Structure 1
Amino acid sequence: MSNIPDIASKDGGALSMGGPGPRHVAIIMDGNGRWAQARGRPRLFGHHAGAKRIREVVEACPKLGIEYLTIFAFSTENWKRTQTEVAGLMSLFRRYISKEMTALATKNVRVRFIGDRLKLDEKLVKLMDNLEVETEGNDGTHLTVALNYGGRDEVARATKRLARDVAEGQLNPEDVNEETLPRYLDTHVLPDPDLVIRTSGEARISNFLLWQSAYAEYEFIDTLWPDFTAAELGRLCRKFGRRDRRFGKVKT
């Protein structure tokens, strides 16, 4: 894509400016509704525009050295929106998975979904399950979609599974530590995010990847999600590469 900055090294692992770029980027895709309202259109128009933006961002990842991309599509709190908007979003998810994500799968993208599927309709869950199976052999960009996801809900569900294993004698309570719980999280097969981006000017994390982002770098940008581009993603990756990430250590 011509608008992707040429900032990745030949091996895709390091940026030409600064240190290594982020291996795992997570994005809170915010601002669809405001983008539509600013144009005098209904909120769902903005959601459709935002869905189209995902492909450009996913296709930019290999050149930027990003192996894992996680996007926040629908939170456990989003059920509080109007019935019309929720129904429209669910229809959009079904259509998007059937078309756009299937197209991405042909480009060696590995698709996963995280979140509680029990509240989602059967047709949508079947589409999600099928796409995961169809792409499980792909070894390109790992795209994870958080759908009916909340960080607190995820930790609560993980804790229930952990407690069940303790009750059944499969896990010794004395062996539970900060390395144990991640094995029960939805993201147990993924590395923790290095960089979390939130669009639209809001400066909060909205219950997204609470455990996993303990040492992530954050970028809160004013761009509304439908206007977010691969070029802006590249700029944020360059900025990440210039950061001094010490993880509690002190330079000697």
Structure 2
Amino acid sequence: MTSAESNEGRGPLYRLYINRLRRRLPAESVPHHVAMMIDGNRRWARQLGYSSVADGHRAGAAKMREFLEWCDDVGVRVVSLYLLSLDNLTKRDAQELKDLLEIIAELAESLSRVRDWRVQHVGRAEALPPDLARVLAAAEERTRQNTGLHVNLAVGYGGRGEIVDAVRSIIQQHDERGGTLEELAASLTPEQIGEHLYTGGQPDPDLVIRTSGEQRLSDFLLWQSAHSEFYFVEALGPDLREVDFLRAIRDYTRRNRRFGG
């Protein structure tokens, strides 16, 4: 590690290092689609002595707004944020879940008014409280014509559930056309399943980042990340810094992607 890399402050040297990192990123190698698993919000709140983990989730949401700006600034075109899993809807404490749903609604609303970003909800809207589902739908509709950074908000999301929903959609479509089960079995392809995922029509994530040092996928974009590169950051979600992000992008640009080969 260089002396510049060891300077973790927020002063002039830190900004110089940030600017140098950004300038040295080869534009043609920056990932098109980045998926982010923000983790460690609750740990962060407890370590700092907050009375409620909601403070951690709120800080994590604010960090995600920053993260999206960092992505936009270096030329990333699609970002997927894992905000709430299907499991979270049943396994989180009732008060924590209530707070988290409100924070997600506030984040979706605010992101729908930033730059020229397009917001899309990925997940099961029917599994969410109606108020949150309406906020997500409104954010999506408000930004439908935007052409800037495409932001996927994974809320009420599960990767295995998404694959099941995709297959159900294919079966329903095939049935409506009057096709037989044998014809469907013979014609089914990975590309067809991909088209029916929540992210259908989008490129698969090139890079998946997870904070807090955890190294697992947690049912996030299981199908789409089959050939993704992974980068794990030790920082807890709210502590993620721009330098951490830029180092992740730098690391990605130096990798030799094999796509399963």
Structure 2 length-normalised TM: 0.86
In the alignment, structure 1 residue 69 sits paired with structure 2 residue 86: no
Residue 24 of structure 1: aligned partner = 33
Match of 1:51 among 51, 57, 61: 61
In structure 2, distance between residues paired with 1:192 and 1:120 = 25
Cα distance between partner residues in 2 of 1:15 and 1:204:
27
Q: Is the 8 A contact 1:56 1:229 kept in 2?
A: no
The CA deviation at 1:176 is 0.8
Aligned-residue CA RMSD (Å) = 2.0
Decide whether aligned partners of structure 1 residues 231 and 5 sit closer, same or farther in structure 2, where only a CA change above 3 A counts. farther
Identity of aligned residues (%): 35
Change (3 A) 1:189 1:7: farther
Q: Size of the alignment, in residue pairs?
A: 240
Aligned-residue offset at 1:232: 1.3
- d(CA) in 2 for partners of 1:200 and 1:193? 20
Structure 1 residue 169 corresponds to structure 2 residue 180: no
The 1:248/1:156 distance shift into structure 2, 3 A limit, reads closer
Question: SS in structure 1 opposite 2:127?
Answer: coil
In the TM superposition, residue 7 of structure 1 has moved relative to its aligned partner by 4.6
**Whose relative contact order is higher, 1 or 2, with alpha carbons under 8 Å and at least 6 apart?**
1
How far, CA to CA, are the matches of 1:233 and 1:22 in structure 2?
12
Alpha-carbon offset, residue 229 of structure 1: 2.1
Tell me, in whole angstroms, the C-alpha distance in 1 between the residues paired with 2:22 and 2:48: 36
Whole-angstrom CA distance in 2 between matches of 1:170 and 1:87: 44
Structure 2 CA distance for partners of 1:170 and 1:37, relative to 1, 3 Å: farther
Residues 1:196 and 2:205 aligned together: no
Query: Residues 215 and 137 from structure 1, CA distance in 2 versus in 1: closer, same or farther, beyond 3 angstroms?
Result: same
Q: Indicate whether 1:136 and 2:148 are aligned.
A: no
Alignment-derived partner of residue 116 in structure 1: 124
Confirm whether residue 86 of structure 1 aligns to residue 86 of structure 2.
no
More helix, by proportion: 2
Aligned to 2:258: 246
Q: Secondary structure at the match of 2:227?
A: coil
TM-score (norm 1): 0.89
